[in-house]
């Protein structure tokens, strides 16, 4: 990848090596064992050079421009020049030109679908996250993502959530311990489960899923300072907030929708976690338009 692309990825908080692996894997999937775009190879002279515009086909929030640039870099072996005209997190309108790409036409078209697949997916997640952020405006609550991500794309999808104004909960099973129903059953309850995690991994943050006021109180008294309030009504959630006070951060989770977001936030919880941010966001339609030759 070019130095400018690597720098843009790092500025976004994305690991260039991970992005390169994702982008190269997606290109390899498209090109097959022969590493060949048969249509472009047959119809376009090897020496032909063109410019194309990356254009929004719908209103939304863009995310992943540097990731798309990485795809163009890899497909064109650094011969494609990418100029971005928007920034991740920008609200864009149908018809807006987000970037231009100039270079060998074969390479440009070979990279087109892979670059757009990632860019459209990330922008769709960012657009959805922005809708949740706006729904929570005026409250103290922040929308969080979950681990319900597309396999292999977690880094990109969680970045897109941030670009849309949301926040990341945990990256995986390694950075935060989350005691859920099955852990409680296997360990014999909330208190023994919490104490076992804390003893085994004293430096790892511990979160506990609770389903009642009694469980919330037990978890806090065991030492937990972050509770997942699972599938609670706003009324029950308000009772948990009153019982726990400021002894723990509270997250509402399970079955939340944009229509009910403000009602849940009004209970006083700190977070609303929404798996749909990454498992059900529609893409933002973005296209690559080759400029007419003159």
Catalytic residue among 20, 73, 157, 230: 230
Residue 35 known to be catalytic = no
Q: Which residue has the tokens 């798996």?
A: 275
Catalytic residue among 180, 181, 221, 291: 180
Nearest-10 crossing angle of helices 3-11, 16-31 = 120
Residues 6+ apart with CB under 8 A from 121: 64, 150, 153, 156, 157, 160, 283
Catalytic residue among 78, 113, 147, 198: 113
Closest CA to 176 of 201, 157, 145: 201
Catalytic residue among 57, 78, 87, 148: 148
Catalytic residue among 20, 88, 145, 209: 209
Residue 209 known to be catalytic = yes
Distances in Å between the Cα of 292 and the Cα atoms of 42, 55, 240 are 20, 15, 62
Residue 230 known to be catalytic = yes
Active site members: 113, 148, 180, 209, 230
């Amino acid at each position: 990848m070019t130095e400018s692309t690597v720098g843009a990825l790092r500025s976004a908080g994305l690991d260039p090596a991970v992005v390169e692996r994702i982008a190269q894997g997606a290109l390899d999937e498209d090109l097959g064992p022969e590493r060949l775009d048969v249509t472009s190879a047959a119809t376009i002279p090897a020496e032909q050079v063109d410019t194309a515009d990356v254009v929004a086909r719908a209103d939304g929030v863009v995310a992943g421009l540097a990731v798309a640039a990485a795809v163009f870099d890899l497909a064109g072996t650094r011969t494609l020049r990418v100029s971005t005209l928007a920034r991740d997190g920008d609200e864009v309108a149908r018809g807006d030109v987000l970037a231009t790409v100039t270079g060998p036409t074969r390479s440009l078209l070979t990279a087109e679908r892979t670059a757009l697949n990632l860019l459209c997916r990330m922008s769709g997640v960012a657009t959805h996250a922005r809708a949740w952020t706006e729904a929570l405006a005026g409250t103290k609550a922040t929308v969080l993502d979950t681990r319900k991500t597309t396999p292999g794309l977690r880094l990109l999808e969680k970045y897109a959530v941030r670009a849309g104004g949301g926040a990341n909960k945990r990256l995986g099973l390694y950075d935060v311990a989350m005691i859920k129903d099955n852990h409680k059953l296997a360990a014999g309850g909330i208190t023994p489960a919490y104490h076992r995690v804390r003893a085994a991994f004293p430096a790892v943050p511990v979160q506990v899923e609770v389903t009642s006021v009694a469980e919330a109180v037990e978890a806090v008294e065991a030492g937990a300072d972050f509770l997942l309030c699972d599938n609670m009504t706003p009324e029950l959630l308000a009772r948990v907030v009153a019982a726990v006070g400021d002894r723990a951060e509270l997250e509402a989770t399970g079955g939340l929708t944009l229509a009910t977001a403000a009602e849940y936030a009004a209970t006083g919880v700190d977070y609303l976690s929404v798996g749909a941010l990454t498992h059900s966001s529609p893409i933002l339609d973005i296209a690559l338009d080759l400029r007419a030759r003159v």
